[in-house]
Structure 1
Amino acid sequence: MPSAASRRVGVIGAGVSGVVTAAHLLAEGLDVTVFERAPVVGGVWVWESRVPHEPTYPSAKPSVAESTFFEAATNGEKKAWLSEPTPAYDSLKNNVPTELLETTLNPLKPGTESFVLHNVLKDYIQDTAEKTGVTKNTQFNTRVEHVFKTGDKWKLVSSTWDEAKGEAVSKEWSFDSVIVASGHYHAPRVPNIRGLSEWKSKFPSRIQHSKSYRNANGYENQNVLVIGGSASSLDAVKEIVPVAKKVWQSTRGGAFDLPVADSAEGSIGNATLADGTVIKDIDRIVVATGYQFSLPFLVEYHRDDVKAPDADEKVLVTDGTQLHNLHQDIFYIPDPTLIFIGVPFYTATFSFFEFQAIAAAAFLSGKAKLPSVEAQRAEYSERVKAKGFGKKFHARLGEDLEYAAGLMKWVNEGRDPADRKPDGYSEKWIADRERLRHNPDPKNSLFEKTKI
């Protein structure tokens, strides 16, 4: 690879994972370009009243996902839908205390409460981007269409809205490395529940995915079925219960009352569940079944027809339940110049992703060397045996300290003492975590559930 000063890196996404990544790359002297579909920095924390398109029922294949809406749009619609609205609902707050989210790049404002509305975190991310020089290195209103390798270079094709021309203009870029930091809350997963698509077709306004949920308006005096047990579904239930006539919440594996299987039968107004229970007179359904991993700009790395356990050593996405062949959830094992930041969940996201960003910057600056491919494969295989395939593969519940310490040990091996990075989470972070764990905010039960 070329020297750090001349090494060009493309970062996809300007949410928190993209911002912390670009900031650490810039600090190492790399030439960085960030691509962001929205007109501003902030990712999922950018709220707007405009709601996303409803997904197809059942959801589209991971290799396509929500990209179909942009491709099908007329020129007049493309400007509006170049950036699909985020899932941020009116009352969205963090479910991990801000004390544990704070990055080393930018302190939170004094007096910031532990749990805050979306706009506070959006402002924090934007402020971090400004202070670290990320904003001025970002291409806004720009959608990444295709990423592919030619020789030793990554080619990236983007579409940017040109106001003068009234159309999206394509451009091809060349990079030594591409980092995907686009998150995994953009491609809804809608299970193939029998009868659901027919219901959606006949009564489209009566069913919505939680991605397009904004508030409880319209649910007054309604019988509501919420399918799924995600954090967003819990918040939706809390808001809908006080105004609805009756609310049922159903999950496949959670501690709720009515488990729904993908084969459950449905008819207009009624739902027959896997255990034979029949729910009658349903007015509205919220589908809160989460999201699937989807990288439509890396379509050659998708295999929609393959189940996760049958993935080969090159594929990235199969059935959308996980990403394959990543070392430490970061480096693509066949070619580590393709990097992912922000894949794990059940973590203290902002600060956790910063450790991943530091690791990526250390590798791309030439200050840290990855283990052999054989060693990476062996470690990956052991993790598969321990965790299995699917979404749980990326769950890092309770692993924050060990994961961060392991990454930083690798980053600091042989490093100049004057350039040494933190050994992991600080003593203050650990103390805050213990304090908050024993004295959680009573309004925020998810902190206890998450147990980071």
Structure 2
Amino acid sequence: MVLLTNGKVENGGPITNIKDVAVIGAGISGVVSAAHLLRAGFNVTVFERTGAVGGVWGYEPQPDRDPPFPNVRPPTPNWSEVEKQGLSSDEVELIHGPPNPCYAGLKNNIPTPVMRSSLLRWPEGSEDFVDQAVVHQYIQDIARRHNVYDVILPHTRVESVSKPEGDTQWGVSTSTFTRTQSGHKLTKKNWKFDGVVVASGHYHVPCVPDVPGLATWKQRFPDRVTHSKQYRTPAPFSNQTVLIIGAGVSALDIAKETVVLGAKIIQSNRQSKYDILSSRLPDGIERVPMVAKFIVDETAGDSNSQTLESDRHIPGKVILEDGRVLECIDRVVVATGYITSYPFLGDLEQPHVPWEEADEKVVITSDGYITHNLHKDVFYIPDPTLSFVGVSHLVSTFSLFDFQAQVVAKVFAGQVQLPPRSVMQEEHRERKLKFQPGERFHSLFGAEDAYIDKVLRWVNADLVKAGLEPLPGMDEEWKVNYKVVQERIKSTHVLT
């Protein structure tokens, strides 16, 4: 077995000489990663670009800036944007550490007995579904009890992660935002780490489809057309006719919150097996086919206006794919998900390369969803000292990401060996060959128990062989409750 000095496993074997580890992000995946690495004895530094622990569960009234319309591929990073002349400290902070998409009424959609870390049980008597403040506090409690707060650098964004050929450590470049008496300052710093864990999550770059006319509606009526990331409370939608594009969780939540305030909700979507069935929607919500075109009524006197009177509909009409026409729309919410992007990974992100043409090094391509060249959705095959926690999608999040973090700690400690690179590459190729259009590559939709069992067999074979305690995996309470989740998925989604 040969291990190259820069951490690249060619013929299998343990990773050795990992001491200093960077964790990018202080949401649930970053917090549990840091906690398990600290428990294993590593020196850990967590970089968090906002000022808070908790990731998408931390509510801020201030939303992020609007994304481009359309926005269909990973963006090219513009790190120098914060240095533009004339920006206030508030504007720089917003750009430097954009707010997360959490809205005031957000609740977990996976019950708490299934959505929990091995590091901390939910408080006694916790309900299955709780408010975002309760979830946020739970993440903060994990961080506090396991000394993660001691190693977090807030308001610090990672701008570059790289390991030039021949180097034995990862170079990490950061920028830290600090308020001063006269305004603010940005402090740049370069670091060296033996290992890096990317735990920055999915929900940063909104995906806005290139629907004909949508960009024109946004340009002319910017306050009336938004992405769901900008949604905070239902109050602005009271007694409005709202077109929601998308049929996922955020679309359902926004529809449920606004319909009780008298909003008329029309939900448009392109049918997918991941959609929530229309039968599960609240009364009064109409589901229609996907929008084909947005048209502005150029004869209307306010068709070029950027500000419409509150009692005015958007002057125009919406053509659906089945030919139907919608008029008298007051607001449009684009709830079409997010683009996966790791802008700090440099040329490992290739936004103009089709996913089918990904080579054996690239991580992100133009589809903005698949994170390529990962073993078990975690270890970067060319150099597994770069790892990812939280890539797997449509899962029990807290439980699964906690499990992945435990596996990273064992591999980084040299207690569990990765397969030879050729074996990992072949497994990844076979997975791609089975991938079908319309699927979600990283989805474990109702199948994460099988994923966990497979990873456990690999991990525990090495741990037992070395005379170490095996990882326990999920306990019986989780398994029983996960069976209930699987049945719920079958009853609320199209799985054919």
What's the TM-score once normalised by structure 2's chain length?
0.84
Secondary structure class of the residue paired with 1:171: strand
1:322 CA drift (Å):
1.6
Match of 1:83 in 2: 97
1:286 CA drift (Å):
0.4
Instruction: Identify which of 69, 74, 86 aligns with 1:62.
Output: 74
Distance in structure 2 (CA, Å) of the matches to 1:138 and 1:447: 41
Distance in structure 2 (CA, Å) of the matches to 1:40 and 1:330: 25
Query: What are structure 1's unaligned runs of at least 5 residues?
Result: none
The answer to which of 158-167 and 140-149 deviates more is 158-167
Closer/same/farther in 2, CA of residues 446 and 270 from structure 1, 3 Å limit: farther
Percent of counterpart pairs with the same letter? 39
Secondary structure class of the residue paired with 1:101: coil
Match of 1:273 in 2: 320
Tell me the alpha carbon deviations over residues 83-127 of structure 1, each in whole angstroms, 9 at most, x when there is no partner.
211111111000000011121111111111110001111111111
Secondary structure class of the residue paired with 1:366: coil
Secondary structure class of the residue paired with 2:218: helix
Q: How does 1:337-356 map to 2 (within 5 A)?
A: 337-356=385-404
Closer/same/farther in 2, CA of residues 398 and 6 from structure 1, 3 Å limit: closer
**Is it true that 1:371 corresponds to 2:419 in the alignment?**
yes
**Is it true that 1:20 corresponds to 2:39 in the alignment?**
no
**Is it true that 1:243 corresponds to 2:261 in the alignment?**
yes
The one-letter amino acid of 2:335's match is A
**Is it true that 1:228 corresponds to 2:246 in the alignment?**
yes
The one-letter amino acid of 1:193's match is V
Q: How does 1:163-174 map to 2 (within 5 A)?
A: 163-164=179-180, 166-174=184-192
1:272 CA drift (Å):
0.9
Match of 1:94 in 2: 108
Closer/same/farther in 2, CA of residues 48 and 80 from structure 1, 3 Å limit: same
**Is it true that 1:421 corresponds to 2:470 in the alignment?**
yes
Match of 1:300 in 2: 347
Secondary structure class of the residue paired with 1:266: strand
Instruction: Identify which of 431, 439, 447 aligns with 2:480.
Output: 431
The one-letter amino acid of 2:325's match is V
1:37 CA drift (Å):
1.2
Instruction: Identify which of 120, 132, 136 aligns with 1:106.
Output: 120
In our comparison, the structure showing a higher alpha carbon Rg is 2
Distance in structure 2 (CA, Å) of the matches to 1:201 and 1:228: 21
1:229 CA drift (Å):
1.2
Distance in structure 2 (CA, Å) of the matches to 1:446 and 1:181: 30
Q: Which has the higher helix share?
A: 1
Distance in structure 1 (CA, Å) of the matches to 2:83 and 2:355: 28
Distance in structure 1 (CA, Å) of the matches to 2:423 and 2:251: 40
The one-letter amino acid of 1:136's match is D
Closer/same/farther in 2, CA of residues 293 and 382 from structure 1, 3 Å limit: same
Tell me the alpha carbon deviations over residues 327-363 of structure 1, each in whole angstroms, 9 at most, x when there is no partner.
1111111111111100111111101111111111111
Query: For the Cα contact (< 8 Å) 2:33–2:402, is it kept in 1?
Result: yes
Secondary structure class of the residue paired with 2:216: helix
Query: For the Cα contact (< 8 Å) 2:350–2:362, is it kept in 1?
Result: yes
Distance in structure 2 (CA, Å) of the matches to 1:388 and 1:337: 30
Query: What are structure 2's unaligned runs of at least 5 residues?
Result: 8-14, 279-286, 297-314
Distance in structure 2 (CA, Å) of the matches to 1:290 and 1:65: 20
1:295 CA drift (Å):
1.1
Distance in structure 1 (CA, Å) of the matches to 2:390 and 2:494: 17
**Is it true that 1:152 corresponds to 2:168 in the alignment?**
yes
Closer/same/farther in 2, CA of residues 436 and 227 from structure 1, 3 Å limit: closer
1:450 CA drift (Å):
10
Match of 1:200 in 2: 218
The answer to which of 328-337 and 423-432 deviates more is 423-432
Match of 2:44 in 1: 32
Query: For the Cα contact (< 8 Å) 1:4–1:28, is it kept in 2?
Result: no
1:430 CA drift (Å):
1.1
Query: For the Cα contact (< 8 Å) 2:380–2:387, is it kept in 1?
Result: yes
Secondary structure class of the residue paired with 1:32: strand
The one-letter amino acid of 1:281's match is C
Query: For the Cα contact (< 8 Å) 2:73–2:339, is it kept in 1?
Result: no
